[in-house]
Amino acid sequence: MRGTRREVVVVDFGGQYAHLIARRVRELGFYARVVGYDSLSLRDLEGAGALILSGGPHSVYEEGAPMPDTRVIRRAIDSGLAVLGICYGHQLLSRMLGGEVRRGEKGEYGSSTLEVVADDVIFRGTPRLQRVWMSHRDVVERAPPGSRVLARTSVSRIAAFRLVGARVYGLQFHPEVRHTEYGSTILRNFLVEVAELEPSWRPEELVGEIVRRIRDRYRGGNVLVAASGGVDSTTAAYLVKMAIGAEPIHLVVIDTGLLRRGEAGWAQRTLKSLGFKHVHLVDAAEEFLDALRGVDDPEEKRRAIAEVYFRVLEREAERLEREYGEFRYLVQGTIYPDRIESGRAGRSSDRIKSHHNVTLPERLRLEVIEPLADFYKDEVRRIARALGLPGEVVERHPFPGPGLAVRVVGEVTREKLEIVRRATEIVEEELRRAGLYGQLWQAFPVLLPVKTTGVKGDARSYEYAIAIRAVVSEDAMTAEFAKLPWDVLERIASRIVNEVEGVNRVLYDVTNKPPATIEFE
Ligand code: XMP
């Protein structure tokens, strides 16, 4: 989705930084595209308005460190393109330009105080002392010849530099991280003052272009959508409907028996109310339960669920084909961080857990349409809002493909599913009532495979414990546990132990991601 505007090219050196930078740049109103360091080429400079080298978990001097084609960076610098190195990128630029990088005496992780020591446009509008987020062990020991040191911390003597007479900057800290007090100002200064770009990226204005592209591509035949009522798949399907009309589009909602109470029916009704003509509800709950019997390993569960999911979808597609004629396309709600960049997974969590919906049926031999593959989640929500999709869809928390099965730790049984399902209703109800639902990335209960002693009435009880997980996050790559008010937590806990049979204890999860993941499995 390049359009005519000049784009900010963000080079990915691994880890989660590149997407975070790109998101931030887009939030500021500039289009950013992520490119794997190993696929960076001169072609990427065509149409580029700035180049940002991201952070990454490596050392520039180590054997096998991620090294882009430095001729491209040279060319960018020589042609006067604005270039910004962040963390690893800062060290890479320093070394490339003749400076020196070495392992520091000690690491610098977390909040640090930055002291700006030279007047420069990149720090315009920010104070001399400011809080920045650091995450590094290596330091730039000697700045490149011809550069000027702009800022330092107690650990990093060269926390920021500028190549004099060029539009080249290096920052040891992470301006893209919210904990960096003036991060957005610094990034904006780089984009507006240094790169001289004008903000013009507004994803909701691209609806016309997205629709046109789909229409240009469509060559007739039926279109299959595996739908859930979630914001990504619903918005994707809606855009396709705008392009080609409702008639050829068939949405299949599979009730896996692992959904929240009433969710499959809700999804079907909601999709119909949006003007979709063919919304097929398939009840496959028994098949999923069968496949999960005796399975307690999380990855095994995911594999088993994915297998049944494909099987059911394939069967339904064949049935629909007999009734409605040939299917040629599959619409997926894939979003930008889900995409694979230069052979490496875009989202680090994909490598930690297998998200089956990313690789949906190649087996069906359908041409895949992914209208949202260029957008981040918050941008999808902006588009969804612009399309007038209902708030219940737009604000809906993400829900994992394997559903409640990964929220029952250990073996999944009908009884345990019913316990989390009921507890989920309570958690969501209370958060909505407190006006907190929309402020959270996700919030849900998890049934632990642990029984503990309690007292109910006057009798001893020996029942399950439930953990509540509530997080704030911008993209699920990192997350912080939500500091929910005690009274809300108390209400949730008290309702769960009173209303959910088999539970006598509720715990609150206070770990961040990393090191914990959002889901328990
Ligand atoms: P984790 O648990 O890895 O989750 O921190 C990150 C985000 O991904 C969601 N998630 C999944 N989504 N299929 C999905 O569609 C999956 O298998 C899956 N596992 C986790 C999770 O809910 C969170 O938003």
Q: Residue 457: what pLDDT?
A: 84
172, 194, 216 - which closes a domain: 194
pLDDT digits (tens, 9 = 90+) for 273-313: 999 999 999 999 999 999 999 999 999 999 999 999 999 99
Catalytic choice (19, 87, 90, 181): 87
Using CA atoms, how far apart are residues 195 and 51, in angstroms rounded to an integer? 9
How many other CB atoms sit within 10 Å of the CB of residue 174?
Answer: 23
Residue 387: inside a domain: yes
- Give the number of the atom of ligand 1 that is nearest the alpha carbon of residue 521: 2
Same domain, 427 and 377: no
Question: Mean pLDDT score of the chain, rounded to an integer?
Answer: 93
Using CA atoms, how far apart are residues 454 and 452, in angstroms rounded to an integer? 7
Q: Residue 171: what pLDDT?
A: 98
Q: Which amino acid is at 285?
A: A
List, in sequence order, every beta strand (DSSP E) within 71-128: 82-86, 100-116
Q: Are 40 and 46 in contact (CB under 8 A)?
A: no
Mutation to probe ligand 1, out of 259, 302, 424, 518 (largest number of atoms < 8 A from CB): 518
Backbone angles phi, psi at 470, to 5 degrees: -135, 125
Residue 520: inside a domain: no
Q: Which amino acid is at 189?
A: N
- Give the number of the atom of ligand 1 that is nearest the alpha carbon of residue 479: 5
Using CA atoms, how far apart are residues 336 and 183, in angstroms rounded to an integer? 23
Q: Are 452 and 505 in contact (CB under 8 A)?
A: yes
Residue 405: inside a domain: no
Mutation to probe ligand 1, out of 16, 260, 310, 349 (largest number of atoms < 8 A from CB): 349
pLDDT digits (tens, 9 = 90+) for 305-363: 999 999 999 999 999 999 999 999 999 999 998 875 433 444 443 445 665 554 555 66
Residue 81: inside a domain: yes
pLDDT digits (tens, 9 = 90+) for 151-163: 999 999 999 999 9
Q: How far is the CA of 355 from the centre of ligand 1 (A)?
A: 7
Look up the domain containing 219 and give its range: 203-394
Residues with CB under 6 A from ligand 1: 302, 349, 352-353, 355-357, 398, 400-402, 442, 476, 513, 517-519
**pLDDT bucket at 15, cuts 50 / 70 / 90:** confident
Same domain, 225 and 374: yes
Same domain, 421 and 339: no
Q: What is the DSSP letter of 408?
A: B
Using CA atoms, how far apart are residues 426 and 432, in angstroms rounded to an integer? 10
Alpha-carbon dihedral angle through residues 106, 111, 17, 161, given to the nearest 10 degrees: -70
- Is residue 4 scored above 80 in pLDDT? no
149, 175, 194 - which closes a domain: 194
Using CA atoms, how far apart are residues 126 and 114, in angstroms rounded to an integer? 11
Q: Is 174 a residue of the active site?
A: yes
Q: Is 176 a residue of the active site?
A: yes
3-state secondary structure 455-507: EECCEEEEEEEEEEEEEECCCCCCEEECCCCHHHHHHHHHHHHHHCCCEEEEE
Residue nearest to atom 14 of ligand 1 (CA): 400
Same domain, 78 and 50: yes
Residue nearest to atom 22 of ligand 1 (CA): 400
Q: Is 141 a residue of the active site?
A: no
Q: Are 30 and 73 in contact (CB under 8 A)?
A: no
Tally of domains within the chain: 3
When pLDDT is averaged across residues 470-496 and rounded to a whole number, the result is 95
For residue 510, CA distances in Å to 14, 363, 405, 444, 476 come to 27, 41, 22, 13, 16
Same domain, 154 and 273: no
Q: What is the CATH number of the domain that holds 423?
A: 3.30.300.10
Residue 83: inside a domain: yes
329, 362, 394 - which closes a domain: 394
